[in-house]
């Protein structure tokens, strides 16, 4: 970096100082704006979600020495804002599913990973698309001060080079305070090279994916033959890939794709998400379910035949 010497007069020095103060204030305000704000309420960690849903955003640069790295958003709970937690409490995060990738048009498979911190260790929590809640991934975010104020930032590093798109990690927050339940799950969506409009569309898809209608395995807002096919292709496994078919019981499955997952698809067959993505409406498809069962039997038999090939 080239250093420049600037000769200043007292008045100019005051001007530079004022400008620096303005920039510092603006930077501080921006940092506060991008924080995930939390508190305790009704014996649970409650997060202040935006109208977009259970999603937060961070931006990863696509070039330079910090390519694929960000420490946004932060995590905060300030007593001066009516929030706060208990003095000296530890706040941590749990990874409750695999890395989800959106190429700007659709969800897709990816071999990339995102590494998160486990304070004081950096980049030790490796999140891939095959991760599940049962893997026990997670890390410490930080500790509240003696007044119950909390603020901490974590580093997130995308494996690079990587394809442009939005990469999201599904998390929930936890505390060491007895009797306080974990937060509802949410996504942190990291933008890596998408323009604003494309990112906005992807974020809407992530907002749905973190809380889809029951049995919508592939997040297309409809429970149909495509979801059943995913259950068939993953039958007898813990579930894998961008569309993990281990959907029962809610919210994180039981570690095996089996008849319980088949049953939840059957009981929700034909359901479709409304435009608000908040509820489901029934779209009857009485003739489809028997055919769907046939499809499942086909996938199951094919899988068993493949397993016996030596």
Nearest CA to 128 out of 139, 112, 143 is that of: 112
> What's the average model confidence in pLDDT over 215-244?
93
Is residue 163 domain-resident?
A: yes
- Show the domain range for 127: 36-209
Residues 178 and 75 in one domain: yes
Residues 117-155: tens digit of each pLDDT: 999 999 999 999 999 998 999 999 999 999 999 999 999
| 6 or 177, greater pLDDT | 177
For all residues of the chain together, what is the average pLDDT? 84
> Per this entry, what is the length of the chain?
310
Q: How many other CB atoms are found less than 10 A from the CB of residue 133?
A: 21
Query: Given the structure tokens 């809610």, which residue do they identify?
Result: 250
Residues 248 and 116 in one domain: no
pTM for the model stands at: 0.79
Is residue 264 domain-resident?
A: yes
Is residue 271 domain-resident?
A: yes
d(CA 26, CA 30): 6
Identify the H or E element spanning 261: helix 259-267
Nearest CA to 54 out of 235, 203, 191 is that of: 203
Nearest CA to 169 out of 89, 57, 275, 62 is that of: 57
Is residue 18 domain-resident?
A: no
Residues 289 and 177 in one domain: no
d(CA 208, CA 108): 15
Is residue 273 domain-resident?
A: yes
| Strands 107-108, 150-152: pairing kind | unpaired
> Which sign does the torsion angle of CA 240, 243, 248, 251 carry?
positive
Quick check: 169 pLDDT over 90?
Answer: yes
Quick check: 261 pLDDT over 90?
Answer: yes
| 72 or 21, greater pLDDT | 72
d(CA 133, CA 108): 20
> What's the average model confidence in pLDDT over 1-8?
38
Structure tokens at 305: 């035949």
Inter-helix orientation angle 259-267/288-307, to 10°: 160
Residues 190 and 245 in one domain: no
pLDDT at 303: 53
Residues 237 and 261 in one domain: yes
d(CA 112, CA 160): 8
Query: Given the structure tokens 């086909």, which residue do they identify?
Result: 298
Is residue 201 domain-resident?
A: yes
Residues 56 and 192 in one domain: yes
The set of residues, in sequence order, having a beta carbon less than 8 Å from that of 123 and lying 6+ positions away, is: 115, 116, 117, 155, 157
Could you give the number of structural domains in the chain?
2
Residues 82-130: tens digit of each pLDDT: 999 999 999 999 999 999 999 999 999 999 999 999 999 999 999 999 9
Residues 24-70: tens digit of each pLDDT: 443 443 334 489 999 999 999 999 998 889 999 999 999 999 999 99
Is residue 1 domain-resident?
A: no
* Rounded to 5°, angle at Cα 120 from 124 and 39: 100
d(CA 190, CA 163): 13
Residues 53 and 105 in one domain: yes
Residues 188-217: tens digit of each pLDDT: 999 999 999 999 999 999 999 999 999 999
């Amino acid at each position: 970096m080239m250093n420049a010497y600037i000769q200043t007069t007292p008045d100019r020095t005051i001007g530079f100082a004022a400008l620096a103060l303005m920039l510092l204030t603006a930077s501080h305000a921006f940092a506060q704006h991008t924080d995930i704000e939390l508190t305790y309420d009704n014996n649970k960690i409650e997060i202040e979600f935006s109208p977009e849903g259970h999603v937060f955003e961070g931006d990863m640069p696509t070039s330079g020495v910090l390519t694929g790295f960000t420490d946004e958003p932060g995590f905060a709970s300030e007593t001066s804002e009516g929030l706060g937690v208990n003095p000296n409490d530890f706040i941590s995060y749990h990874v409750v599913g695999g890395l989800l990738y959106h190429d700007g048009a659709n969800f897709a498979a990816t071999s990339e990973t995102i590494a998160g911190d486990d304070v004081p260790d950096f980049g030790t929590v490796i999140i891939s698309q095959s991760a599940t809640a049962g893997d026990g991934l997670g890390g410490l975010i930080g500790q509240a001060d003696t007044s119950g104020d909390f603020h901490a930032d974590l580093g997130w590093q995308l494996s690079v080079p990587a394809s442009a798109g939005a990469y999201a990690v599904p998390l929930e927050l936890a505390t060491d305070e007895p009797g306080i339940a974990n937060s509802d799950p949410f996504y942190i969506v990291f933008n890596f090279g998408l323009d604003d409009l494309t990112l906005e569309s992807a974020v809407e898809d992530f907002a749905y994916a973190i809380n889809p209608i029951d049995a919508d395995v592939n997040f297309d807002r409809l429970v149909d033959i495509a979801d059943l096919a995913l259950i068939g292709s993953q039958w007898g496994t813990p579930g894998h890939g961008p569309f993990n078919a281990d959907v029962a019981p809610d919210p994180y499955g039981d570690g095996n794709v089996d008849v319980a997952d088949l049953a939840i698809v059957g009981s929700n067959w034909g359901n479709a998400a409304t435009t608000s993505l908040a509820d489901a409406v029934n779209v009857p498809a009485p003739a489809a379910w028997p055919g769907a069962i046939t499809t499942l039997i086909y996938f199951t038999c094919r899988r068993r035949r493949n397993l016996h090939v030596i």
